[in-house]
Amino acid sequence: QMQLQQSGPGLVRPSETLSLTCTVSSGSITKNNYYWGWIRQPPGKGLEWIGNIYYSGSTYSNPSLKSRVTISVDTSKNQFSLSLTSVAAADTAVYYCASVTMIRGAPAFFDYWGQGTLVTVSS
């Protein structure tokens, strides 16, 4: 069964950049039928999709975050990463990485999830 392990700091200062990494084990990040995604959840609120990446580097991002989001992949390390610039208190959330099954050649549903990382934006 695929496993995803997240890493990264739990505290980021306002206006700085949030960076998280997700390492995929028990499976290759270059699997043909998977995208890799990021989702976040502010405390006490619902889920918000951030973006997805294919191992080739093709990405899709939430339009509301697109100008601040970079998602990248490192196939040599079986990892993918999230970078969110110019963070503010509203970016405080639990961030999840997930595998994204492909349907019709496009990202579809999230089947395996990382453990989640609470990132607090505060000085």
Partner 1 sequence: DMQMTQSPSTLSAAVGDRVSITCRASQNIRSWLAWYQQKPGKAPKLLIYEASSLQSGVPSRFSGSGSGTEFTLTISSLQPDDFATYYCQQYNTYSGTFGQGTKVEIK
For partner 1, give the closer residue by CB, 15 or 120. 120
**Residue 77 has which token pair?**
């390390």
Torsion angle, CA of 19/53/42/119, rounded to 10 degrees?
A: -20
Taking the complex as a whole, how short is the minimal distance between the CB of residue 9 and partner 1, in angstroms? 19
For partner 1, give the closer residue by CB, 18 or 38. 38
Taking the complex as a whole, how short is the minimal distance between the CB of residue 113 and partner 1, in angstroms? 4
Chain residues binding partner 1 by CB under 8 A are 37, 39, 46-49, 52, 60, 62-63, 96, 98, 100-101, 103, 106-111, 113-116
Cα separation values, 82 from 85, 95, 104, 105, 118, Å: 10, 10, 25, 22, 14
